[in-house]
Chains A and B, each alone.
Chain A
Amino acid sequence: MSRTADIVSATEERLSAPLAVEEFEKGSSLWDDAWHRLKRNRLAMISLFLFIAIVLFCVVGPLLSPYDGEQQDLLKGAQGPSGEHWFGTDTLGRDLMVRTMEGGRISLLVGMVATFVALMIGVVYGATAGYLGGKVDAVMMRIVDTLYALPFTIFVILLMVAFGRSLWLIFVAIGAVEWLSMARIVRAGVIGLKKQEFVEAAVSLGYSHTRIILRHLIPNVLGPVIVIATLTVPAVMLLEAFLSFLGLGVQPPNASWGVLINEGQQNMEIFPWLLMFPAFFFALTLFSLNFLGDGLRDALDPKSAKD
């Protein structure tokens, strides 16, 4: 379900090709250049600010609001947006604005942590496969290909049913299925790098494989990894919201955007705002992260420059 499929294969192809010499004759660092390029991309910058604004809204917002997300006021249940409750209230009289902010906290948290889990697995797996090469690589990538073909959502559902529905399990279960693209990108990058002189130098200095992978190879593939990570966050959030929507994800009293969207759609005929506000913020977040990911790719990986 991730938007990354097309980007992965294109990036993979480019990375595994050996780097041209002029790559190393730059005056300013790669990161400075990337930042300059990103700043020129208006859409990506808007997305970046939008995303920061959403994060601030969700993290700081509840502290400033006079309401509490769990505080019910049945007499004021299901009121439309007003000066008192800007987003209205839900059927139990809880302030929807605070609920949306707190739901966002959980959705964003799942997005970040599960992406981090995926990042760890993917980077280690991909770097190992690419560095060792040969038969090990062939077998390891064959496994990835096979896993790509599996109906993962179903397994995440089964995992949630089997091991309870804690937030921790959501992190791990989602992280455990979203690492495949990461592994492929890192592997391709490592294959392209490992024939370079600096790796040869490290080998002849007698450094261990672990050290070469961790200190010399991985830092050099960080660019594409950051891009894929940015694009994995929305994919993860989508999966979490999907699970929560089905009642298999985040459980009450906690709520994520998926839970709120589910509650909203049950009552949308009479109280449409219950659906509209959480859905709007959810879509906006996915939107900004996807555009930011595209922008980062163009900035960090100029050879892929948008056609």
Chain B
Amino acid sequence: MLKFIAARFGQGLLVLLAIYALTFMLVALTPGSPFSTERAIRPEILAQIEAFYGYDKPPLERFWTSLTNALQGEFGPSAVYANRSVTDIILEAFPVSLTLGTISLLVALFIGIPAGILAAVKRNTWLDYLPMSASMVGICLPTFVLGPILVLVFGIIFQLLPVSGWFGPDYMVLPAATLGLFYAAYFARLTRGGMLEMLNQDFIRTARAKGVPESTIIWKHCLKGGLIPAITYLGPALAGIISGSFVVETIFQIPGLGQWFVKGALNRDDFLILGLTVLFAGLIVIMNLLVDIIQVALNPRLKYDR
């Protein structure tokens, strides 16, 4: 098991390095520069700015400097927001995004998985049709449609909840719902599928024939295997929640990383883009590693060879 984890960990590091190089290349290839403005700057001043940010050096040298700095947790200065380093921005905005992301993921899991189990157990009754129809609607309502609708209904028509900013728990309800419900719909479908597959297994029929109570069958025999599809989806779900946060933080004016990333991309803030991409990629790599480990733990048939 340890060997498997170590191998996966090494692989994750390689992936991260590749992502760093690829992002650096994309950013370096982008025409124009973060320092070009509408006002004409005197060439000497521009040269000085470029020297300050290290842009006078050849790309390969810049890559090496930025990589070694990044390994020490220093992602360089923001090229657009003067006097702020990318690390500062991350330290300030990450807790916000982490809170939002965690709550959303919890919303997704705590609504999606029970709904899926219920639907599978009460198959072909209204307890199956109702949550499954709701989840189909949920899947067709992406964050940028659901968000504005929730704002319209709860924020503007009924005035129950605040719709912009990040000042306390009540400000978290709508954004977390927007981000989480879409994935709740997904988890519900995956869990239902997984549970149904388990319930159709021969050993379940045997267990029933032997008179094992239905609750033991569901909770002890089926749950472990039935949850595997949902757990496999945790990695993509996290990636989705991160990219969803770009939209949700824009709609709800939340000062998190997602908004910074969009701003960085639109303003061509090279260091910020690079730092945030690596951070997001790192989170996803860690999540995938965790998912791999949980999967092997839940399903010994998988062995460690994959």
Contact = CB atoms under 8 A, between A and B. Distances in A.
Contacts of A307: 123, 193, 196-197, 200
A21 B96 CA distance: 59
B201 to A, nearest CB: 12
A287 interface: yes
A245 B148 CA distance: 12
Interface string B166-198: 000000000000000000001001100100110
A158 B265 contact: yes
Given A158-B27, A269-B156, A307-B196, A261 B141 contact: no
Interface in B104-143: 123, 136-137, 139-142
Most chain B beta-carbon contacts within 10 A, residue among A1, A9, A261, A269? A1
B222 interface: no
A258 B281 contact: no
Contact of A150 (B262, B266, B281): B281
A134 interface: no
Contacts of B268: 161
Given A6-B190, A158-B26, A242-B247, A287 B136 contact: yes
Which secondary structure dominates chain A's binding surface? helix
Interface string A211-248: 00000000000000000000000100010011001111
B144 A241 contact: yes
Contacts of A162: 26-27, 29-30
A75 interface: no
Nearest to B199: A307
A268 to B, nearest CB: 6
A290 B140 contact: yes
Given A1-B240, A158-B27, A248-B265, A149 B235 contact: yes
Contacts of B29: 162
A151 B288 contact: no
A157 B265 contact: yes
Given A245-B144, A290-B136, A265 B243 contact: no
Contacts of A6: 189-190, 193, 229, 233
B103 interface: no
Contacts of A146: 11, 15
Interface string A155-178: 101110111000000000000000
B252 to A, nearest CB: 11
A15 interface: no
Contact of B236 (A5, A282, A291): A5
B229 A9 contact: yes
Interface string B222-250: 00000001001101100110110011001
A202 interface: no
Nearest to A282: B145
A255 interface: no
Contact of B19 (A3, A150, A238, A261): A150
A272 B153 CA distance: 11
Contacts of B79: none
B152 A153 contact: no
A78 B65 CA distance: 53
A97 interface: no
A279 B143 CA distance: 11
A161 B189 CA distance: 35
Given A159-B26, A265-B148, A268-B148, A151 B239 contact: yes
A248 B243 CA distance: 13
A9 B233 CA distance: 11
B153 to A, nearest CB: 10
Contacts of A10: 193
A150 B145 contact: no
Most chain B beta-carbon contacts within 10 A, residue among A154, A279, A286? A154
A241 B148 CA distance: 14
7 contacts: A1-B240, A5-B232, A9-B232, A155-B26, A242-B142, A272-B152, A287-B136
Interface of A: 1, 3, 5-6, 9-10, 146, 148-155, 157-159, 161-163, 234, 238, 241-242, 245-248, 258, 261-262, 264-265, 268-269, 272, 275, 279, 282-284, 286-287, 290-291, 307
7 cross-chain pairs, A with B, having the tightest CB-CB distances, nearest first: A153-B243, A265-B148, A286-B140, A162-B30, A287-B140, A245-B144, A279-B145
